[in-house]
């Protein structure tokens, strides 16, 4: 196995960002239909891909060597960019809830996925923060707060 590093964590963050953008596109293009199941499949697929990329990134971060200060700064920049994408996506998930509510099965599925994605995101964040130099860990934790807050808000709307 290849020892993970700042570069592999950045690649994993990029994959999460790509899957977050794909989920956002699926959310914003959602149109309720008559059947329900057909309409929810692309949403499930995009959400599952995102969850898989977060879990994969957690494994990468967990197996990584401790980050150098320069690597931590690069990861921080990527995290800020990802936070913007996550916050946009979750705002759209909230905005789209009335459409989901027209189909009985969609909102409960979205809630379950939000909870799973939040748990996975928390694990990934903790794995990355653990690799950041001790003096920068507080800053790293603060970068995760907007993501966590957005998840909490979206989950509250769907509960």
The domain that contains 28 carries what CATH number? 1.20.58
3-class DSSP state of 40: helix
In this prediction, residue 118 carries a pLDDT of: 98
Residue 145 located in a structural domain: yes
Residue 1 located in a structural domain: no
Domain that holds residue 121: 6-158
Count of domains observed in the chain: 1
Rg (CA), the chain: 16
3-class DSSP state of 148: helix
Q: Say which DSSP state 5 is in.
A: -
Using one digit for the tens of pLDDT, what is the confidence trace for 118-136?
999 999 999 999 999 999 9
Are the C-beta atoms of 50 and 12 separated by less than 8 Å? no
In this prediction, residue 1 carries a pLDDT of: 47
DSSP per-residue letters across 48-78: HHHHHHHHHHHHHHHTBPPPPHHHHHHHHHH
Residue 69 located in a structural domain: yes
Residue 23 located in a structural domain: yes
Q: Say which DSSP state 15 is in.
A: H
Average pLDDT taken over every residue of the chain: 93
pLDDT band for position 3 (cuts 50, 70, 90): low
């Amino acid at each position: 196995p290849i020892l993970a590093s700042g570069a592999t964590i950045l690649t994993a963050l990029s994959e999460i960002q790509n899957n977050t953008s794909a989920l956002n596109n699926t959310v914003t293009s959602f149109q309720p239909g008559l059947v329900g199941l057909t309409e929810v499949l692309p949403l499930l697929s995009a959400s599952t891909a995102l969850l898989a990329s977060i879990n994969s990134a957690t494994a990468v971060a967990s197996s990584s060597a401790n980050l150098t200060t320069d690597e931590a700064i690069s990861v921080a920049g990527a995290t800020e960019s990802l936070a913007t994408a996550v916050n946009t996506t979750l705002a759209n998930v909230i905005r789209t809830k009335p459409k989901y509510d027209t189909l009985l099965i969609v909102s409960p599925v979205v809630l379950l996925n939000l909870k799973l994605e939040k748990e996975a995101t928390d694990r990934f964040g903790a794995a990355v923060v653990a690799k950041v130099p001790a003096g920068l860990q507080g800053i790293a934790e603060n970068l995760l707060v907007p993501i966590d807050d957005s998840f909490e808000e979206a989950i509250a709307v769907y509960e």
